[in-house]
């Protein structure tokens, strides 16, 4: 779907409340510059439409398992593309215990939906804001150098995960609407990052990764990992091919 078709389908899409002041500012700006010189109305209208498009908050249908497998899916917390899948030792600031961890990084450009959603159901047990730089969020060092906000969760299936909102080259504002003790269901909205950024998610490596680098993610819908599938058995099956 190209950007024009996407805008057409987004006309009646709900807007995140954080965007309303910005849309109003763009609208007033349009009136002022158009009053000064009428051809500038077109420029202002385009900018106002783009701002409205940026803050869209479409409904999402979050997949879920049932029965004994309930709450074992990890869902993408952000729209965008996977730029990294790696086995890591999380920095102390992430708030996770020692062990084997996987990190998946999802990069959002300025045309992606920037509303962030909870990857699993659970209780927020850790929150830490770290000021920093505003490097291109696609760079690896953005995880350690950029402004970021870390959330740790004790999930309903007894696991610990962490997800990190990272500001980018253009993004200058991280919005997080939850705190320690907040209960989230998988797919619930927990925040937003303005104007291009990324979200990293850390989870135990015994969950089987279900996505590839370069794959397009849809927040609240795309399954990125599954605790019901053994990562070791997946590796053996891959080796047998």
How long, in residues, is the chain? Answer: 241
Of 138, 186, 197, 208, which one is the catalytic site residue?
A: 197
| Interatomic CA distance for residues 94 and 201, integer angstroms | 10
- Residue 115: partners with Cβ closer than 8 Å, 6 or more residues away: 16, 57, 189, 191, 192, 219
Contact (CB, 8 A) for 205 and 101? yes
Could you write out the three-class secondary structure of 20-84? HHHHHHHHHHHHHHHHHCCCHHHHHHHHHHHHHHHCECCCCCCCCCCHHHCCCEEECCCCEEEEE
Q: What is the dihedral of CA 66, 72, 77, 80, to 10 degrees?
A: -90
Question: Do residues 237 and 132 make contact, with C-beta atoms less than 8 angstroms apart?
Answer: no
Q: How many CB atoms lie within 10 A of CB 181?
A: 9
Say whether 197 is catalytic. yes
Distance of alpha carbon 84 from alpha carbon 213, whole angstroms: 6
Please say whether the beta carbons of 122 and 153 come within 8 A: yes
Copy the structure tokens of residue 54: 């940026």
Catalytic residues: 197
């Amino acid at each position: 779907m190209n950007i024009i078709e996407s805008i057409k389908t987004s006309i009646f899409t709900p807007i995140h409340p954080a965007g309303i002041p910005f849309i109003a500012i763009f609208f007033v700006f349009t009136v002022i510059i158009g009053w000064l010189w009428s051809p500038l109305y077109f420029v202002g209208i385009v900018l106002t439409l783009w701002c409205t498009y940026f803050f869209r908050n479409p409904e999402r249908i979050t997949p879920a398992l049932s029965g004994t497998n309930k709450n074992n899916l990890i869902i993408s917390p952000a729209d965008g593309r996977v730029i990294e899948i790696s086995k890591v030792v999380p920095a102390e600031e992430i708030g996770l215990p020692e062990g084997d961890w996987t990190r998946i990084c999802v990069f959002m450009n300025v045309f992606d939906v920037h509303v962030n959603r909870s990857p699993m159901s659970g209780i927020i047990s850790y929150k830490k804001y770290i000021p920093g730089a505003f490097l291109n969020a696609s760079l690896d060092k953005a995880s350690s150098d950029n402004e970021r906000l870390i959330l740790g969760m004790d999930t309903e299936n007894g696991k610990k995960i962490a997800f990190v909102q990272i500001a980018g080259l253009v993004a200058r504002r991280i919005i997080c609407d939850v705190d320690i003790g907040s209960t989230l269901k998988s797919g619930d909205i927990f925040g937003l990052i303005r104007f291009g950024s990324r979200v990293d998610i850390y989870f135990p490596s015994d969950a089987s990764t279900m996505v590839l680098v370069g794959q397009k993610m849809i927040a609240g819908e795309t399954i990125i990992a599954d605790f019901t599938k053994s990562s070791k058995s997946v590796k053996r099956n891959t080796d047998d091919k």
